[in-house]
Amino acid sequence: MTDDVASVGDLRPTGSAERLAVGFVTCLRDAGIVVPIHSSLTFAEALGETGIESRDRVYWSARATLVRRPEDIEVFDRVFSTFWLQREPRIIRVEQEPPSLVLAVDDSETPGADDAGAPPDDDGDEMPTLRFSRTEVLTDKDFAECDDDELDELGRLMTTLRFSTETRPSRRRVPARSGDRHDLRRTVRTAMRHGGEPVRRHWTTTSERPRRMVFLLDVSGSMEAYARGLIRFCHAAVVARGRVEAFTFGTRLTRVTRQLGSRDPDRALAAAAAEMPDWAGGTRLGEVVQRFNDEWGIRGMARGSIVVILSDGWDRGEAALLGEQMERLHRVTHRLVWVNPLKATPGYAPLAAGMAAALPHVDDFVEGHSFSSLADLAVRLTTPLERGASPRI
């Protein structure tokens, strides 16, 4: 023991009551007995009142203030004999019961789910709670394996995505403290207020505006299992930011930007579905891309924009026509992204004729089978890619 231990009376250790109390509590904790701080302070005060000359007084003061559970008494007696009476210590095995766990499910729709605590155990302490979230499971689940309720839950998650994109120089000029062009009108107006003397010159600089984003969603039969989740992604993008256009295609091209503009997901999807007569039908990728180029893209919608095609690449039309139209589209876009849900399949290779014809003309070739992959896509759309670089696969 320490220098405080000596052979005096019934109790062998001597020294200040506070130091002895701290040392004894430390030994109890090392033996596995839980001793709160307030119990230690109470024990030290008790020793100050009763003294340390009587073994019985010290024993009962310690047991009354430091022992909280009956099963700890045996261990307490052994530690007391070793510390206070300097008896030969014996090996103290502390067998603790396995902790009780409460299994809970995080559900934001359950009233009071966030405020409900774990039930107390026999000592009044809260039991440890093992929680799992259904949302975390859904984020990596393939859209093709989700039921309607799970797709609705994922649709609500997609409203939390951020769709900030790159900016482009605008023709509109704005005032600036130091720009690249004189603002003659403001300079003259300021001079007129100072007797015609140009005491201060004003400048303008170019402003920036977000690049337009265009979604082309394949709703053919081969994409039916994924189109239900991807159209919710398109709706979230249309609602989240301006300058977003959305089209669906199978055997024909349909513009659904206005229908997806409603903030009510159910109303927006119902309105879009009413405009899609080719849902779960065939696919003519080459003809669809050609029509988009002729009627929308080349005329201005795709120029300098980020165009995102969401399709598995299966095509009943001519692959040569698709390759030609993809090359034509790539010339006018700032960035051309192809999202293929099948890319996440182990061993996948872009061997379909349509996918093989389109791939040389895309800047990004990414997955799109789950919420996590679409969240990564939303982030990737904000990352600049140098023109002429090889596709990021």
The residue among 381, 372, 370 whose CA lies nearest residue 229 is 370
Condensed to tens digits (0 to 9), the pLDDT of residues 222-280 reads: 899 899 999 999 999 999 877 899 999 998 999 999 999 998 888 999 999 999 988 88
The answer on pLDDT for 118 being more than 70 is: no
Nearest to 50 by CA among 63, 37, 38: 63
Q: Which residue has the tokens 């690049």?
A: 211
Residue 91 banded pLDDT, cuts 50, 70, 90: very low
119 to 68, 114, 129, 131: CA distances (angstroms): 20, 14, 9, 14
Single-letter residue type at 214:
V
> Using an 8 Å Cβ cutoff, are 93 and 32 in contact?
no
Q: Determine what percent of the chain is predicted with pLDDT higher than 90.
A: 31
* pTM to 2 decimal places: 0.61
The residue among 28, 29, 65 whose CA lies nearest residue 46 is 65
Dist CA 10 CA 8 (whole Å): 7
CA atoms of 102 and 130, how far apart (whole Å)? 6
| CA–centroid distance for 287 within its chain | 38
Q: Which residues of 87-103 are buried (b: 16+ CB within 10 A; e: fewer)?
A: eeeeeeeeeeeeeeeee
CA-wise closest residue to 337 among 166, 206, 187? 166
Secondary structure of the chain: what % helix, strand, coil (to 5)?
Answer: 45, 15, 40
Q: Which of 154, 101, 97, 93 is nearest to 126 (CA)?
A: 101
Task: Tell me the C-alpha distance between 216 and 248, whole Å.
Answer: 6
d(CA 136, CA 218): 27
Buried b / exposed e over 190-227, threshold 16 CB at 10 Å, is beeeeeeeeeeebbbeeeeebbbbbbbbbbbbbbebbb
Span 134-151, pLDDT tens digits: 566 788 899 989 888 888
What is the amino acid identity at position 196? G
- Torsion angle of the four alpha carbons 268, 271, 275, 277, in this order, in degrees rounded to the nearest 10: 100
Alpha carbons 222 and 347: distance in angstroms, whole number: 19
pLDDT of residue 110: 44
Residue ranges in the chain assigned as alpha helix (H): 17-30, 37-50, 55-66, 73-84, 134-139, 148-158, 184-192, 224-240, 265-274, 285-292, 319-332, 353-358, 371-380
pLDDT digits (tens, 9 = 90+) for 23-55: 888 888 888 888 888 888 888 888 888 887 788
Tokens 């199978």 found at: 250
DSSP secondary structure string for all residues of 145-164? G--HHHHHHHHHHHTT----
Q: Where are the domains of the chain?
A: 17-84, 102-137, 172-209, 211-380
Tell me the sheet residues that pair with 254: 248
Among the CATH numbers 3.40.50.360, 2.30.110.10, 3.40.50.410, 3.40.30.10, which is that of 211-380? 3.40.50.410
The single-letter code of the amino acid at 212 is: R
Q: 212 in helix, strand or coil?
A: coil
Would you state the pLDDT for residue 280? 81
Residue indicated by tokens 């720009």: 179
CA 127 to chain centre: 28
CA–CA separation, 10 vs 84, rounded Å? 9
Instruction: Specify whether the CB–CB gap between 280 and 224 falls below 8 A.
Output: yes
Render pLDDT for 193-233 as a digit per residue (tens, 0 to 9): 888 887 788 888 887 778 899 999 999 998 998 999 999 99
What pLDDT shows up at residue 365?
94
Whole-number average pLDDT of the chain: 80
